[in-house]
Structure 1
Amino acid sequence: MDIAVLSGLIILVMLVIMLVAGMPIAVALGVSSICAILPILNFEATVVTGAQRIFSGISVFSLLAIPFFILAGNIMNKGGIAVRLINLAKLVTGRAPGALAQTNVVANMLFGSISGSGTAAASAMGSIIGPIEKEEGYDPNFSAAANIATAPTGLLIPPSNVMITFSLVSGGTSVAALFMAGYVPGFLWGLACMLVIYVLAKKKGYQSTSRFTGKEALQVLLQAIPCLLLIVIVIGGIIFGIFTATEGSVVAVVYSLILSLFFYKSIKLKELPQLFKESAEMTGIIIFLIGVSSIMSWVMAFTGIPTAISDGLLGLTNNKFIILLIINILLLVVGTFMDMTPACLIFTPIFLPVCAALGMNTIHFGIMMIFNLCIGTITPPVGTTLFVGVRVGNVKIETVFKQLLIYFAAIFIVLLLVTYIPQISLWLPGLMGYV
């Protein structure tokens, strides 16, 4: 049997068995990778090389951005940002049909991009807007579906940790270019869901009667500007070369601390140690996962697994559209049972060579992959954002999932547009000179 096929089967079988058995994914990745290389190298050489790969995998300066963006997100989550962004979103959506649900979408896009977390957006926005929607006669399943369907948009709209992870595993793709590339797909996702809400709300008769006076609108805008400035300062600084993504993450922490401690006064100094602890725990999980995945990347490169898969897919057909459709389907399936970071770490080295052979830009591929994996966060059985949204909305998963189907249809249409129209992802990076 070909060594690439043998190693691939060992990794696949062991990984599935260990994940089904409840093994932590980092451990499952490391053990399956080491077992896959044992037919070629002796045990001592395998263990020593594996340890070296873990160390070299996390000894990357750009990875420092991840703990700081996590910390900044945690500070903003508890810093009174959500209410101000919701008020701004209300101002934007006005009195459109289903205005409160439309507000939820805009707020998810804003808050998700600031916090860098779809689950945080679903939790914060659902818990605040949900009760208001219920008071105005909205069906709780309708409200929860709108919240869940749009919570992942903030993972596409920068700053986004998964984009930093993709940059690392893809061989150094520009983080700034990836950040720029995520804006249009993220906004299209949100707009598609807003169109669905418009149609459904029109049918159900959900019409808002609230209206802001000129003075109230100005007050809402002034209160939200400091929150929005975080995105402007961090992303603007990275794009215009004032600082790197890593330095930008530190700026985000300092800015969010000043905003929460002194401007909004929504966090007390005694609460900071707990925030630091939570951020450190989350960082440790992600960084260890990245380190262990370096073993798998090395094993796959050493045994030629990506080349074998690439040859196999390209051998099926030479039609670029069909191959990209197959990759999308595979990524959608992967996203249903695997979190975004490990999925990105595992499947980028497998599918990137295939897409490169088709002439696909690495930035375009990264956005397509992240878009697919974002969908996985709102689909069972492992959709963390789905379960958070269901819990916050106090609804049953089987009833809300029926309502989500029409949103999935709209999101899949956007996914196909992102896949087959490269300029959707590449227009902004090209405008900024990254492509």
Structure 2
Amino acid sequence: MATNMAPTAVGAPSQEKTRRGFLQMLNDDFEKPFLFIGLLSIILIITFQTFYRYIVTNLVEDAGSAVWTEELARFIFVWISYLAAPLAIKKRENIRVDIVFDRLSQKWQHIFWMVNNLCFLVLGVVVAVMGMDMISMQMRSPQIAPALQIPYYIPYMILPIGFSLMVLRLVQDTYKEIKRSSIMHGIAAAVITALIFIPVLLGIDFGATTVLFGYFLLFLVIGVPIGISLGLASLVTLLSSGSLPIDYVAQISFTSIDSFPIMAIPFFIAAGIFMGSGGLSERLLNLADELLGPLPGGMALATIATCMFFAAISGSGPATVAAIGSLTIPAMIERGYDKYFACAVVAAAGAIGVMIPPSNPFVIYGVASQASIGKLFIAGILPGVLTGLVLMAFSYWVSKRNGWMGEEKERSVKSIAKAFWDAKLALMVPVIVLGGIYGGLMTPTEAAAVAAFYGLIVGIFIYKGLNRHNIVDSFMEVCSTSAIVIILMAMATIFGYIMTVEQVPAKIAGFILGMTNSKIVILLLINVLLLIIGTFMEALAAIVILVPILLPIVTKVGVDPVHFGIIMVVNLAIGFVTPPVGVNLFVASSVAKVKLGDVSRQVLPILGLMIAVLLAVTYIPEISLMLVND
């Protein structure tokens, strides 16, 4: 008997360990396989759609059309967007306003972090429950997707699944926070959260507009992520006013991002991450150094030029600073440049990343304003190049005055040609994106998908920077980064609709136009507003919140929507380097391991030059519209 039981006794702990290991894997990595497969699928599907339309249909007479591809890709995109949000919660990545939060004591930071989680939890539970109600309704009265011929309740299932996972991750994070601090802090957070919602639960009527903006500002101040602040403020307003059913929040959470143009966002992010993983930034820097290195401030000039090249791939300011700054800031310091100047130059040059196409802020502005994304892309080229040239002129002047000369090494036509050849695959990305769009071959979303596919192939098989050790992490970075933006857009759509119902944009437009109808004064006031907002709010969030308010005002005084998009993006790009919250400054100072305050002082004259460029772009529309009109 004993001998028969021995294996069981030995095996039981082993089985228990295996079971715990499996549960731990589900706990830690549940979303990752779905996100990896989903992102890879939509890249391949849209790339296939593009090549099928322009190659297969021309070669095969009766090839037909692959109408199912776009619909399938959209549904998968919605699924991975909401499946990636729990991953972002777990990694504590989100877009929030931290000005007040960062100044709290450690005790109150613990408490208000839990308050933020509990507020997010409220929205997650509501959307999950309302999502189940929508699925039940769809099952009773089925609606069929036109291309795939599947019931709509199948794609809509992501609402209860995705938001339930968010709730799970929020509960886990709150539990960890309680363990870090104390149960009393958890109780205090629960009490504060209850007090926040008590006025609505008691039915106190403050007026829909007051509730909408009052709660939005309150959630922002206490550090709730901006997208969730928009969704919660909308939910509270619907509860207090009763103007629309609550399940509207769940419905718009799906339909607002079931959009082909919005899919360009993860594709452009993916292209930048895939190409950056393969040593792309180093090849671009070598090319710029060959061309500009001999001049005074040669490394600074090469840095700015490289940022301009990289901007045409990544579409992101902070990503440009991280990729280029990690190489150039140490190199500039080694060659005798002032380390604060080096950080300031890289931070400012990184802002060009959202001006030169492809640019995610242009995609979001185009969706919010219904302006042509293709026209926005081409209109951003000259302002981006002008900003780069101004920064290069300033760097040249400062370097010459301080004796920071370029690196002395032999340069020749042969070495320059070799640098071009080494960087050829990186330089092809803007050609693919812009050539495809303006050649009429691809939509911006298709061009983005092809660029992501190209970056994947180059990263795996040619540069070989993408491998089994980092490819999953690269995919997860794409998913979590884009999910934050996508959820922000979904919640902003709900917020914007309530503003429209309450006629908020019309009232604000009437108020401003009642003071003055001068285009010059109105644009100046808007620039000042955007510069202030850019100091504490991320550019993407500012765009989705402010476009519905400001666009009606500028169009009434004759400003072209495409021109206004450039004004907005250039303006908010300055916010990337505006103390005290400029994210590019944070990235640059962390690379150089210097104090943010010292870098902020060094960047002030550069900010003055960037504002001068902004004023030129604002009051000389031809800078933006010259290439568009041609």
Q: Could you tell me the TM-score, scaled by structure 2's length?
A: 0.65
**Other-structure match for 1:241:** 440
Deviation (angstroms), 1:313? 0.9
**Other-structure match for 1:418:** 617
**Other-structure match for 1:403:** 602
Which of 10, 17, 23 is the aligned partner of 2:224? Answer: 23
Tell me the distance in 2 between the aligned counterparts of 1:199 and 1:407: 12
Q: Aligned ranges for residues 108-257 of structure 1 at < 5 Å?
A: 108-170=307-369, 172-211=370-409, 212-257=411-456
1:34 touches 1:46 (CA, 8 Å); kept in 2? no
2:291 touches 2:416 (CA, 8 Å); kept in 1? no
Aligned AA for 2:400? K
Which of 495, 505, 511 is the aligned partner of 1:306? Answer: 505
SS at match of 1:97: coil
Deviations 1:36-70 (A, max 9, x none): 4555425xx34122222222211111111111111
Q: Aligned ranges for residues 252-271 of structure 1 at < 5 Å?
A: 252-271=451-470
Aligned AA for 1:322? V
Aligned AA for 2:391? C
Deviation (angstroms), 1:380? 3.0
User: Could you say if the C-alpha distance between residues 303 and 413 of structure 1 is closer, same or farther in structure 2, counting changes exceeding 3 Å?
Assistant: same
SS at match of 1:206: coil
Moved more, 391-400 or 100-109: 391-400
1:317 and 2:516 equivalent?
yes
Q: Aligned ranges for residues 324-363 of structure 1 at < 5 Å?
A: 324-363=523-562
Deviations 1:87-110 (A, max 9, x none): 111123242221111111111111
Which of 475, 481, 486 is the aligned partner of 1:276? Answer: 475
Aligned AA for 2:492? S
Deviations 1:128-184 (A, max 9, x none): 1122212211110111111111111011101111111111111x2111101001100
Unaligned runs of 5+ in 2: 1-205
Aligned AA for 2:359? S
Moved more, 267-276 or 74-83: 267-276
Tell me the distance in 1 between the aligned counterparts of 2:457 and 2:293: 31
User: Could you say if the C-alpha distance between residues 6 and 366 of structure 1 is closer, same or farther in structure 2, counting changes exceeding 3 Å?
Assistant: farther
SS at match of 1:58: coil
Deviation (angstroms), 1:265? 2.1
1:77 touches 1:120 (CA, 8 Å); kept in 2? no
Instruction: Determine which structure has more spread, i.e. the larger CA radius of gyration.
Output: 2
Aligned AA for 2:388? G
Deviations 1:281-330 (A, max 9, x none): 12221111111111111011111101111111111112110110000111
**Other-structure match for 1:13:** 214
Which of 236, 257, 260 is the aligned partner of 1:35? Answer: 236
Aligned AA for 1:13? G
Deviation (angstroms), 1:203? 1.3
Deviations 1:223-242 (A, max 9, x none): 11211111101111011110
Deviation (angstroms), 1:264? 1.9
1:181 touches 1:428 (CA, 8 Å); kept in 2? yes
Q: Aligned ranges for residues 52-131 of structure 1 at < 5 Å?
A: 52-131=251-330
Tell me the distance in 1 between the aligned counterparts of 2:479 and 2:417: 38
Deviation (angstroms), 1:423? 0.9
Tell me the distance in 1 between the aligned counterparts of 2:391 and 2:557: 31
Unaligned runs of 5+ in 1: none
Identity %: 38
Tell me the distance in 1 between the aligned counterparts of 2:357 and 2:257: 22
User: Could you say if the C-alpha distance between residues 6 and 185 of structure 1 is closer, same or farther in structure 2, counting changes exceeding 3 Å?
Assistant: farther
State the superposition RMSD in angstroms: 1.6
Tell me the distance in 1 between the aligned counterparts of 2:209 and 2:520: 26
Tell me the distance in 2 between the aligned counterparts of 1:7 and 1:359: 31
Moved more, 324-333 or 119-128: 119-128
Deviation (angstroms), 1:270? 4.4
Tell me the distance in 1 between the aligned counterparts of 2:520 and 2:274: 43
Tell me the distance in 2 between the aligned counterparts of 1:169 and 1:75: 28
Deviations 1:170-209 (A, max 9, x none): 1x21111010011001111111111111221121111114
Deviation (angstroms), 1:263? 1.9
Deviation (angstroms), 1:414? 0.3
Aligned AA for 1:369? M
SS at match of 2:327: helix
Deviations 1:349-393 (A, max 9, x none): 000000000111010001101111111122233322110011112
SS at match of 1:315: helix
2:321 touches 2:350 (CA, 8 Å); kept in 1? yes
Deviation (angstroms), 1:269? 4.0
